[in-house]
Amino acid sequence: MPTVMELYQLLPKTNCKKCGESTCMAFSVALLSRKKKVSECTPILEESFKKQKEKLESLLLPTAGAEETGMIVHPELCTGCGNCVVACPVDVANDPHGAGTGCAPTNDKVIFKVMDGKVVAFNIKECRRFGKNRVLCYACIDPCPTGAIEFV
């Protein structure tokens, strides 16, 4: 996944506000969380920014296997430790006495479950990165030491 700074460096940096965001930095954050599309930046559509535009689009290209939230689980990197199962705020809210306390999930409303030693994602639409009120949540990525979960 690209960083906000990588995206920002490619923008015109004029803070023209035509995209509806207050600054180009705010627009890059919106790009990263997929609230905005590159084409919503009018200046970048000009010929002189062609290369930057292409680069931005390629950085934001959804990777194969990504769900609508952009979540990809790399089973070959996963150790099955379950840190994401327990740290995910949706899992805690939907299964407070199971996953929330560190135990195996007790219902099917959780996002993460460990199957055969590797994590599998379910109920993707419950993810805080999905839907109208989405937020840029890192709760499953931060506790993963092997980089097995990624959002693209």
Partner 1 sequence: MVTCTGCALLCEDIEVVLENGGIKESRNACRRGAARFRGCKNRLAPSVDKKQTDIDTAIKKAAEILKNAKSLMLFGWSNSTCEAQAKGIQLAKKLNAAIDDTSSFCQGLLIERVLQKKFRTCSLEDVRNRADVLVYWGSDAQDSQPRHLSRFSVFPRGESRQRGYEEDRLAIAIDVRESNTAKICKGHFYRIPLKGDREFILALMEALVGKVPKYDAKRMLELAGIMKKAEFGVIFAGIGLTYSIKDDIDILVSLADMLPNFHVMPMVGHYNMRGFNEALFKETGFVNRVKFGVKPVHDNKYAVVEALKSKSIDALLITGSDPLSSLPRSILSHLASIPVICIDPCVTLTSKIAAVTIPAAASGLECGGSAVRMDGKVIEISKVVENSYLTDAQILTRLMEGL
Which residues make up the interface to partner 1 (CB under 8 A)? 78-83, 85-87, 89, 92, 96, 100-105, 113-118, 143, 145-146
Q: Which is nearer to partner 1, 20 or 145 (CB)?
A: 145
With respect to partner 1, which residue has the nearer C-beta, 62 or 147?
A: 147
CB 123 to partner 1: min, Å: 16
Q: How far is the CB of 116 from partner 1 (least distance, A)?
A: 5
SS3 116: coil
Provide φ and ψ at 83, rounded to 5°: -55, -40
The full DSSP string for 51-71 is HHHHHHHHHTPPPTT--TT-E
- When the beta carbons of 9 and 123 are compared against partner 1, the nearer one is 123
> How far from 53 is each of 24, 41, 142, 151, CA to CA, in Å?
14, 10, 30, 21
Which residue number, 40 or 126, has a Cβ lying nearer to partner 1? 126
Distance separating alpha carbons of residues 130 and 152, to the nearest angstrom: 13
- Of 15 and 106, the one with the shorter C-beta distance to partner 1 is 106
φ/ψ of 105, rounded to 5, equals: -55, 140
| Phi, psi angle pair for 94, to nearest 5° | -85, -15
